[in-house]
C-alpha cells in the first residue's frame, strides 16, 4: 500500500518544492491571480492530449497519432465553420452549425481511434507501429485537405471556448476538469477501467480471466481518439485557426507528462491524479521560467531533466525497498 | 528458395520492383543511373541514421534522441571548424566524439536507473536540443569553410548524360555504403553482433549466457550516437547550411523506414539489408510520386498507407502462424 502511493507522495513533494522555488525566484508575480489564470489557460491542451496518451499507455500501448488526429478534426471543424457560417446568419443557425462542427470533429477523431483499435486489436500490429502509420496517414490527409495553408477566422462562439471565462475560471480549464474527472470515473469505477489495468499488467492472464481483449483495446483507442478530438476543439479556438502541423511538439511531451505522472510505460499502473499533478508541475515550471524570461527551449530541457530525476528517484526507492525486504 | 519466400525483406524488395516498374512506365527518367545516384546521395542521411536505429531496435531498445544528437554534433563541428579551422577528417572526428559522448549518456541513464529507453531518449532529446537551442540562439550558419563546401561535390566517378550534363556517384554515398558494410559485418560475423541480437531477444537469458549487458548497451547507444554524429555532418554537407531545426522531428520517419524493412520493435530481429530496403522504399515513393507528377501533398498519405499495409500484413501472418502453432500443440 505504501509503495503504491509513494510515487504520488514524491510527485506531490516535487510539486510543492517547485512551487516554493519559483515563488522564491519570482516573488509576488508568481502567486498573482493573473499568473494562475494564464496557467489555467495553457495547461488544458497538453492536459487533454496527455489523458488521450495515458489511457493507451495503461494497456501497455501508445498512441502516436493523437496530435495528427487533433489537427485533422480541427481542420474538419474549421472547414464547416468557415464555409457555412456567414456574418448575417442568425443566432440559432450559427449555434446549430457550431454544434455540427464540434460533432464532426469528435466523429473524425473517433473514427481514427477505431481505425487504431482495429489495427491493433484485430490485425495484431504493435500499437507503436499502428499509430505511427495512422499518424503519418492522418497528417497526410490534413495536408491534402488544407494544401498546407492555415484555415483562420473562426466565427464568434468558437474563440470563447478557448479564451472565455466562466466565474473567473477559464473555459478550457473547465473542459479539462470534466475530461479528467470522467477519465478517472471510467478507469476506477467501470468494468472497462478494471479491464484496461488488467490488460496492461498481463494480457494473457486477462484473456484467460474471460476478458475480451480486442474489445477492450478497441474501446481504449476509441476513448483516446475522442479525447484528441476534444483537444482539437480547444486548440482551434485558442489559435482561432486550424493547420496540419499545429502542436507537433506536444506528441512526445504527452508521453513525458504521463510518465512523470507515474503511468508505467510497461502498462497496468498509473492514476489520473498522478498525471494531473505532473501537468501542474510542468505548467508551473513553464510559467515560472517564462516570468524569469527564460527561453522556452530551456524550459523543455528542464522538463526532460525533471523526468529523468523523478524516474531515477523512483528506481532508487524501489531498489532500497527490495533490499530491505530481502534483508 | 523456400527460405527466401518466408523472409520479410523479399516482399519489401518485390514491392520496390513493382513500384519502380509502375513509376518507370509513367516517367522513364525514373530508372536512370542519374536519378539513382541523386536518390542515393540525398537519402544518405536517413540511410546512416537507419543503421544506428537498426542496432538499437535489434537490442530491444529505441532511440528518439538521435536527431537531437545529430544536431548538437553537427553544430559543435560547424562552430569548431569555422573558428579553429581543420579539415574534413577533423570535422567527422569532432562530430563522432560528440555523438558517441551523448549516446553514452543515454546508455548510462537507461542501464543504471533502469528507465525504459523510449522515455530516457524522449527526455534526453528535449535536454540536448533545448540546451543547444538556448546556447546557439537557434541561429542558422551559412558561412561554412571552403574545404567543407567542396567536399560535398566530390564524385568518385563521373559520367555524362545525353544532354551533356555531368553526374556521378557522390563520395557521400560511398561513406554511407562503407558504414552499411561495416555494420553488416558487425551484426553477422562478430560476437558483438550476436550479443546485440541476444540482449534484444531476452535480456535475462543473454545475461545468463555470459553476455555483458551493460557493455553491449553501451556499444549500441554509442554506435547510434556515432551514426547520429556522422549523419549530422552529412546533413550539413548536403544542404550546405547548419540549421539547428532541420533534423529534430524527423526521428519517427527514420524509425518507420527501419521497421518497414522488417526490424521488430520488440527487439531481437532485423537485418541490415532490410533496413536499407526500408529506406529505399521510402526514398523511392517520395521521388516516384514527384516523378509521376503527383502533388507532394499526397506524399504522407502514401507513406502512411504503405506502413500500415506492410506492418499489417506481417503482423497478420504472424498472428495466423501463432494460431496454427497452438492448434498443433493441442493435437
C-alpha span between A112 and A130 (Å, rounded):
11
Highest mean pLDDT among A26-35, A115-124, A285-294: A115-124
Please identify among residues 263-282 of chain B the ones whose CB lies closer than 8 Å to any CB of chain A: 265-266
Q: C-alpha grid cell for residue B281?
A: 522504399
| Number of CB pairs, chain A paired with chain B, less than 8 A apart | 147
Q: Phi and psi at residue B169, in whole multiples of 5°?
A: -85, 115
Please identify among residues 191-250 of chain B the ones whose CB lies closer than 8 Å to any CB of chain A: 249
**What is the reported pLDDT for B327?**
54
Selected for mutation to probe chain A from B278, B311, B326 (highest A CB count within 10 Å) is: B311
Please identify among residues 287-316 of chain A the ones whose CB lies closer than 8 Å to any CB of chain B: 295, 297-305, 307-308, 311-312, 315-316
The yes-or-no verdict on residue A226 having pLDDT over 90 is: yes
Does the CB of B319 have a partner CB in chain A at under 8 Å? yes
Residue-range domain boundaries for chain B: 7-23+31-317
**A13-318: in CATH 1.10.3470:** yes
**What is the reported pLDDT for B179?**
93
Kindly list the residues from chain A whose CB atom is less than 8 angstroms away from the CB atom of residue B315. Answer: 123-126, 129
**What is the reported pLDDT for B218?**
93
Kindly list the residues from chain A whose CB atom is less than 8 angstroms away from the CB atom of residue B261. Answer: none
Q: C-alpha grid cell for residue A291?
A: 516570468
Is A141's CB within 8 Å of B126's CB? no
Residues 6+ apart with CB under 8 A from B221: B56, B61, B63, B103, B104, B106, B107, B110
**What is the reported pLDDT for A72?**
92
Helix (H, G, I), strand (E, B) or coil at A156: coil
Q: Find the angle CA(B195)-CA(B200)-CA(B205) to the nearest 5 degrees.
A: 70
Q: Is the pTM for the entire model greater than 0.90? A: no
**What is the reported pLDDT for A2?**
45
C-alpha span between B276 and A257 (Å, rounded):
34
Q: Which residue among B116, B298, B311 sits closest to A125, beta carbon to beta carbon?
A: B311
Residues 6+ apart with CB under 8 A from A201: A267, A268, A269
**Pairing mode, strands A151-152 and A165-166:** unpaired
* Matching CATH number, B7-23+31-317, of 1.10.3470, 1.10.287, 1.25.40, 2.20.28: 1.10.3470
C-alpha span between B129 and B124 (Å, rounded):
8
Is B119's CB within 8 Å of A141's CB? no
**Closest Cα partner for B301 from B289, B313, B293, B292?**
B289
**What is the reported pLDDT for B15?**
84
Is B311's CB within 8 Å of A130's CB? yes
State the complex-level ipTM. Answer: 0.79
In whole angstroms, how large is the CA radius of gyration of chain A?
20
The size of chain B, in residues, is: 331
Residue with the larger pLDDT of the pair A309 and A161: A309
Whole-Å CA distances, A130 to A13, A47, A254:
37, 23, 18
Q: Which residue among B113, B300, B311 sits closest to A129, beta carbon to beta carbon?
A: B311
| Alpha helical stretches, state H, B156-212 | 171-189, 191-201, 203-208
**What is the reported pLDDT for B85?**
80
Whole-Å CA distances, A198 to A58, A194, A204, A268, B197:
9, 6, 10, 6, 30
Q: What is the DSSP letter of B247?
A: S
Q: Which residue among A132, A140, A305 sits closest to B298, beta carbon to beta carbon?
A: A140
Q: Which residue among A123, A128, A135 sits closest to B316, beta carbon to beta carbon?
A: A123
Give the other-Cβ count within 10 Å of A327's Cβ: 5
pLDDT digits (tens, 9 = 90+) for A78-113: 888 887 776 666 667 777 888 888 899 999 999 999
**What is the reported pLDDT for A248?**
74
Give the other-Cβ count within 10 Å of A224's Cβ: 32
Kindly list the residues from chain A whose CB atom is less than 8 angstroms away from the CB atom of residue B266. Answer: 126
Distance from CA of B155 to the nearest CA of A (A): 35
Give the other-Cβ count within 10 Å of B241's Cβ: 14
Tens digits of pLDDT across chain B (331 residues) = 556 666 777 888 888 888 888 888 888 877 787 888 888 888 889 999 999 999 999 998 889 899 999 999 999 999 998 888 878 888 899 999 999 999 999 999 998 888 888 888 988 998 999 899 888 887 888 888 888 888 877 777 777 777 767 777 888 889 999 999 999 999 989 989 999 999 888 888 888 888 888 999 999 999 999 999 999 999 998 888 888 888 877 888 888 889 888 887 777 888 888 889 988 888 888 888 887 877 778 888 888 888 888 888 878 877 777 776 655 544 3
**What is the reported pLDDT for A325?**
75
CA A324 to chain centre: 37
Residues 6+ apart with CB under 8 A from B20: B30, B31, B284, B288
pLDDT digits (tens, 9 = 90+) for A247-284: 777 887 888 888 888 887 777 788 888 889 888 888 88
**What is the reported pLDDT for B222?**
95
Does the CB of A256 have a partner CB in chain B at under 8 Å? yes
Q: C-alpha grid cell for residue A52?
A: 488521450
**Closest Cα partner for A170 from A32, A28, A36?**
A36
Kindly list the residues from chain B whose CB atom is less than 8 angstroms away from the CB atom of residue A311. Answer: 113, 115, 119
Q: C-alpha grid cell for residue B216?
A: 553491449
Q: Which residue among A148, A256, A315 sits closest to B114, beta carbon to beta carbon?
A: A315
C-alpha span between A243 and A246 (Å, rounded):
6
Residues 6+ apart with CB under 8 A from A261: A11, A50, A54, A270, A271, A274, A275, A276, A277, A278, A279
Least confident of A27-31, A273-277, A311-315, B26-30: A27-31
Is A252's CB within 8 Å of B124's CB? no
pLDDT band at A5 (very low <50, low <70, confident <90, very high): low
Burial of B143-152, coded b for 16+ CB within 10 Å and e otherwise, reads: ebbeebeebb
**What is the reported pLDDT for B182?**
94
pLDDT band at A1 (very low <50, low <70, confident <90, very high): very low
C-alpha span between A265 and B267 (Å, rounded):
16
C-alpha span between A308 and B121 (Å, rounded):
10
**Closest Cα partner for B252 from B9, B57, B36?**
B57
Q: At what angle do helices A296-326 and A250-260 cross, to 10 degrees?
A: 30
Please identify among residues 98-117 of chain B the ones whose CB lies closer than 8 Å to any CB of chain A: 109, 113-116
Residue with the larger pLDDT of the pair B281 and A325: B281
Amino acid at each position: 500500500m505504501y509503495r503504491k502511493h509513494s510515487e504520488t507522495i514524491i510527485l506531490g513533494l516535487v510539486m510543492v518544492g517547485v512551487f516554493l522555488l519559483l515563488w522564491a525566484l519570482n516573488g509576488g508575480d508568481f502567486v498573482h491571480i493573473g499568473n494562475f489564470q494564464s496557467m489555467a489557460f495553457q495547461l488544458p491542451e497538453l492536459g487533454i492530449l496527455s489523458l488521450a496518451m495515458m489511457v493507451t499507455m495503461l494497456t501497455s500501448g501508445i498512441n502516436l497519432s493523437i496530435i495528427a488526429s487533433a489537427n485533422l478534426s480541427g481542420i474538419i471543424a474549421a472547414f464547416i465553420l468557415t464555409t457555412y457560417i456567414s456574418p448575417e446568419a442568425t443566432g440559432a443557425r450559427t449555434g446549430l452549425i457550431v454544434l455540427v462542427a464540434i460533432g464532426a470533429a469528435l466523429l473524425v477523431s473517433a473514427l481514427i481511434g477505431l481505425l487504431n483499435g482495429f489495427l491493433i486489436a484485430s490485425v495484431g500490429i504493435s500499437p507503436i507501429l499502428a499509430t505511427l502509420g495512422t499518424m503519418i496517414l492522418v497528417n497526410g490527409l490534413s495536408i491534402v485537405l488544407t494544401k498546407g495553408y492555415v484555415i483562420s477566422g473562426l466565427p464568434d462562439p468558437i474563440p470563447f471556448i478557448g479564451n472565455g471565462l466562466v466565474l473567473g475560471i477559464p473555459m478550457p480549464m473547465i473542459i479539462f476538469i470534466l475530461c479528467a474527472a470522467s477519465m478517472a470515473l471510467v478507469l476506477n469505477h467501470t468494468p472497462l477501467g478494471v479491464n484496461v489495468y488488467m490488460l496492461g499488467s498481463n494480457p494473457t492472464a486477462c484473456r484467460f480471466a474471460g476478458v475480451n481483449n480486442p474489445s477492450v483495446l478497441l474501446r481504449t483507442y476509441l476513448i483516446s481518439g475522442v479525447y484528441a478530438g476534444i483537444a482539437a476543439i480547444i486548440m482551434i479556438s485558442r489559435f482561432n485557426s486550424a493547420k496540419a502541423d499545429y502542436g507537433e511538439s506536444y506528441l512526445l511531451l504527452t508521453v513525458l507528462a504521463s510518465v512523470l505522472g507515474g503511468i508505467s510505460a510497461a502498462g497496468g499502473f498509473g492514476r489520473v491524479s498522478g498525471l494531473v499533478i505532473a501537468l501542474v508541475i510542468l505548467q508551473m515550471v513553464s510559467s515560472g521560467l517564462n516570468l524569469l524570461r527564460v527561453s522556452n527551449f530551456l524550459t523543455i530541457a528542464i522538463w526532460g531533466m525533471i523526468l529523468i530525476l523523478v524516474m531515477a528517484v523512483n528506481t532508487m526507492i524501489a531498489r532500497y525497498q527490495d533490499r530491505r525486504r530481502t534483508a | 528458395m523456400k527460405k527466401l519466400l518466408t523472409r520479410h525483406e523479399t516482399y519489401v524488395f518485390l514491392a520496390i520492383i513493382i513500384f519502380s516498374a509502375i513509376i518507370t512506365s509513367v516517367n522513364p527518367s525514373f530508372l536512370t543511373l542519374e536519378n539513382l545516384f541523386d536518390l542515393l546521395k540525398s537519402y544518405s542521411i536517413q540511410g546512416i541514421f537507419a543503421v544506428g536505429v537498426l542496432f538499437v531496435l535489434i537490442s530491444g531498445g529505441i532511440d528518439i534522441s538521435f536527431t537531437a544528437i545529430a544536431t548538437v554534433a553537427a553544430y559543435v563541428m560547424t562552430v569548431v571548424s569555422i573558428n579553429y579551422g581543420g579539415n574534413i577528417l577533423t570535422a567527422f572526428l569532432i562530430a563522432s566524439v560528440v555523438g558517441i559522448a551523448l549516446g553514452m549518456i543515454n546508455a548510462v541513464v537507461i542501464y543504471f536507473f533502469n528507465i525504459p529507453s523510449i522515455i530516457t531518449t524522449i527526455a534526453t532529446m528535449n535536454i540536448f536540443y533545448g540546451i543547444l537551442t538556448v546556447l546557439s540562439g537557434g541561429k542558422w550558419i551559412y558561412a561554412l569553410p571552403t574545404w567543407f563546401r567542396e567536399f560535398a561535390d566530390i564524385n568518385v566517378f563521373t559520367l555524362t548524360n545525353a544532354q551533356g550534363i555531368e553526374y556521378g556517384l557522390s563520395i557521400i554515398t560511398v561513406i554511407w555504403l562503407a558504414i552499411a558494410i561495416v555494420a553488416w559485418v558487425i551484426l553477422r560475423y562478430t560476437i558483438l553482433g550476436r550479443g546485440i541480437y541476444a540482449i534484444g531477444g531476452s535480456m535475462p537469458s543473454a545475461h545468463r549466457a555470459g553476455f555483458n549487458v551493460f557493455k553491449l548497451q553501451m556499444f549500441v547507444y554509442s554506435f547510434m550516437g556515432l551514426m547520429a554524429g556522422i549523419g549530422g555532418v552529412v546533413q550539413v554537407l548536403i544542404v550546405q547550411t547548419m540549421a539547428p531545426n532541420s533534423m529534430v522531428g524527423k526521428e519517427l520517419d527514420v524509425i518507420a523506414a527501419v521497421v518497414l524493412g522488417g526490424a521488430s520493435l520488440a527487439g531481437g530481429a532485423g537485418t541490415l539489408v532490410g533496413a536499407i530496403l526500408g529506406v529505399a522504399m521510402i526514398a523511392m515513393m517520395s521521388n516516384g510520386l514527384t516523378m509521376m507528377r503527383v502533388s507532394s501533398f499526397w506524399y504522407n498519405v502514401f507513406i502512411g498507407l504503405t506502413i500500415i499495409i506492410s506492418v499489417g500484413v506481417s503482423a497478420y501472418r504472424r498472428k495466423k502462424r501463432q494460431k496454427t502453432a497452438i492448434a498443433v500443440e493441442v493435437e
